[in-house]
Amino acid sequence: MHFLFPIATLLAALSLPAFCQTAPTNSANALPDYVVYSSILHRVTWFETQADKLKSQGLNDSFYRTMIQRQAELNDKETATLKSVAADWTQKNTAILGAPQAVRAQGASAANTQQIQNLQAQRIQAVRDHISQIQAAFGAVRFPVFDDYVRQNAAVQAPTGGLPPSWVVLN
C-alpha cells in the first residue's frame, strides 16, 4: 500500500499543468473580419454548389441546401439573405481574383505592384461590404449571434505570430 503514495503523487504532479492552463481561445477571434467572413461566405457558396450538383442528378439536395441554416440556427429569411450575399460576394471575389493575371501579363513593374495592392484592398473591402449587408439584414439582435457562430466555426485559424501580410495575395 505504501507504494501507491509515490504513484499517486507522480500522477497528481503530471496533471498539475492542466489545472494551471487557461482554456484555449478561438484563434478566429484573432483574425480580421474579412478573413473569417470570406471563409463563411465561401462555405455558404460551396454548400449551394454541392446542392445544385445533387439536384441536377435528380438526388435530394436538402442536406447541403439546409446545412448552414441548421448549423447557424438561422430562420428562412436569414438563410435566404445569407445565400444571396454569399453569391454576390463570390461573383465579385472571382472577378477580383482573376484580375492579377492580366496585370502580370503586362510584365513586372512598380506600377503593377500598386495595381495588385489595389486589387487586394478591393478584395478586403468587398468582404467588409458584404459583412455590412449581413449585419443590416440580421439586425442588432441576431447579427451578434451569427457573428459568434462564424467565429466559433471559422474554417481558418490564425497562424502563430499573427496573420501574415500575404493572406490576401492574389494568384
Q: What is the pLDDT of residue 25?
A: 44
Residue 120, SS3 per DSSP: helix
Residue-level pLDDT, tens digit, the chain, 171 residues: 444 444 444 344 434 333 333 333 445 557 889 999 999 999 999 999 999 999 999 999 999 999 999 999 999 999 999 999 999 999 999 988 887 776 667 665 655 677 778 888 999 999 999 999 999 999 999 999 999 999 988 776 555 555 444 444 443
Q: What is the pLDDT of residue 98?
A: 80
pTM: 0.70
Q: What is the pLDDT of residue 160?
A: 52
Task: Give the helix ranges, DSSP H, for 23-75.
Answer: 33-56, 62-65, 67-72
